[in-house]
Amino acid sequence: MSTKTGHLAQHSTIFRHLTVALCLSAYSLLAIFGCGSSRDEIDSAVPLDAADNSPEVAVGKLELISIEPIVYSGKGDPYGKLLVVDNDFTKLDVATLDEMPTFGKWSLANPNSARTEIRKVKLASDIYQGTALEIGNSVPSIELRQPSPTIPVNDVPAKLVASLTAKTEASDELALRVVCDSAGRVEEYVRAIPGSGVWTTVSVSKVWPVGSIPTNIQLSITRRGATEGSAVVKQVEAYLVRHDAAAAGNLGRELLLNGGFEDSGWTKSMAPWYLSLWGGNAGKSASIVIDPEAPERGYVASLPKPDADPGGLSLVQVVPALDASVRGKTITARVSGKAAAPDQLRLLVKCKLGSEELRATSAHPGDGNWHEFAATATIPPDQYPAEVRVELVRGVSVNASPVLIDGVSLQID
Ligand SMILES: [Ca+2]
């Protein structure tokens, strides 16, 4: 019951369309606002008729027919409106799912094999009624997705609240994936449903300052490599709301995204990290793995041995939109790495300052163990870079052991 109550309370602040048949009854009101789960409970908890000294109150009847969220259409103010259409799948026709990601409808990344794995079901539990999607387990990877319309530039900080309500039997098989195109870099957030067999809501919450608010937000429901049981999805939501608190500046906070690679484990997409290759290493790719000697790290990035000499490859993330507050401050980048030979893993920080480049670097000793190491640089007091580039470079060597990377961090203080 508490789940339903919280859900309705949240919606009551967001939804603006309440289609209500007037004629109110105390019972219906109490049922809607979650004071009990049955008529008996309500009647015994709130003996309205028993209070002899109460003033006479006209008791009517309230019947809630539907709650319709306002969906952002791509025009005007996007705040407080749902960014996806058909967020509870009532209108979805599984037979017509195609692979074109378009606002206004759900699509499948791989419709031909995945379509037969999805079916609409009717729920009639204590918590949820109505339509849900049951996703089968015969296809190793299913992604049901929907992009938002283009979000206009505006002058207030924004907070994204996105959530997925679902139930799975096995853990780590179903997740909400949110991909945001923000100030030229792709941000990706993944939250998996725990396999407890009970209804669970997972959410992504993220604040952007003015100037970094994404122009598009794509929501996906992803099911991967599933071998056990079914997964049932009740609904997906995403709202942008105005964020009144002061926008986070550049100072004193983590500036990298997905530095621990936990968001990459699901999709194997590195966003916003990308691989830079030079000297003829075309076709090489980084991968996301778990180090059996350090499983407590969760997912880590693995860089392969470059083929070409001279040449190399690096994992790169660019932090955009720095402002004048960073003048004279110290940049500190940190990484935990594992490399089996010297010159195999180098941390490099680069900032363009006019025609010059400010650089700081530090290297792993190459002893085959995990080590944290850092590089620092001081920004001159009279200028500041527009962006900072963090690179984790794998050099050419005869040693073919993978180079592992985790816990990458960048802060300016
Ligand atoms: Ca990790």
How close is the Cα of 360 to the center of ligand 1, in Å? 24
Residue 321 Cα to ligand 1 midpoint, Å, equals 26
- 408 Cα to the center of ligand 1, angstroms: 9
Hey, what are 103's tokens? 């606002």
Euclidean distance between CA atoms 382 and 353, whole angstroms: 10
Q: Is the dihedral of CA 12, 16, 17, 18 positive or negative?
A: positive
Separation of CA 316 and ligand 1 centre (Å): 16
Partners of 350 in the β-ladder: 359, 389
Distance 367 CA to ligand 1 centre (A): 20
Model pLDDT for residues 260-280, shown as the tens digit of each residue: 998 877 777 788 899 998 888
Distance 273 CA to ligand 1 centre (A): 14
Top pLDDT among 340 and 112 is at 340
79 or 59: which leads in pLDDT: 79
- pTM of the full structure: 0.69
In this predicted model, which residue has the larger pLDDT, 157 or 25?
A: 157
Distance 10 CA to ligand 1 centre (A): 32
In 3D space, the residue among 388, 403, 393 whose CA is nearest the CA of residue 357 turns out to be 388
The full set of domains in the chain, from first to last, is 2-68 (no CATH), 94-242 (2.60.120.260), 264-412 (2.60.120.260)
Task: Measure 5 CA to ligand 1 centroid, in angstroms.
Answer: 35
Rounded to the nearest whole angstrom, what is the distance from the C-alpha of residue 300 to the centroid of ligand 1?
A: 5
pLDDT value at 225 more than 70: no
Flag whether pLDDT at 120 surpasses 60.
yes
CA 205 to ligand 1 centroid distance, Å: 20
CA of 144 to the centre of ligand 1 (A): 26
Question: Confidence band (pLDDT; 50, 70, 90) for 55?
Answer: low
pLDDT at 160: 94
Residue 66 burial (10 A CB sphere; 0-12, 13-18, 19+): exposed
Distance from the alpha carbon of residue 295 to the mean position of ligand 1, in angstroms: 9
Nearest to 409 by CA among 372, 368, 377: 372
Average pLDDT over the chain reads 82
Match 């009990």 to its residue by tokens: 36
Tell me if 147 sits within 8 A of 216, measured CB to CB.
yes
pLDDT at 246: 64
pLDDT above 60 (res 208): yes
CA of 261 to the centre of ligand 1 (A): 5
- Angle among Cα 229, 231, 236 to the nearest 5 degrees reads 170
Ligand 1 center to 259 CA (angstroms): 8
**Are the CB atoms for 103 and 113 separated by under 8 Å?**
no
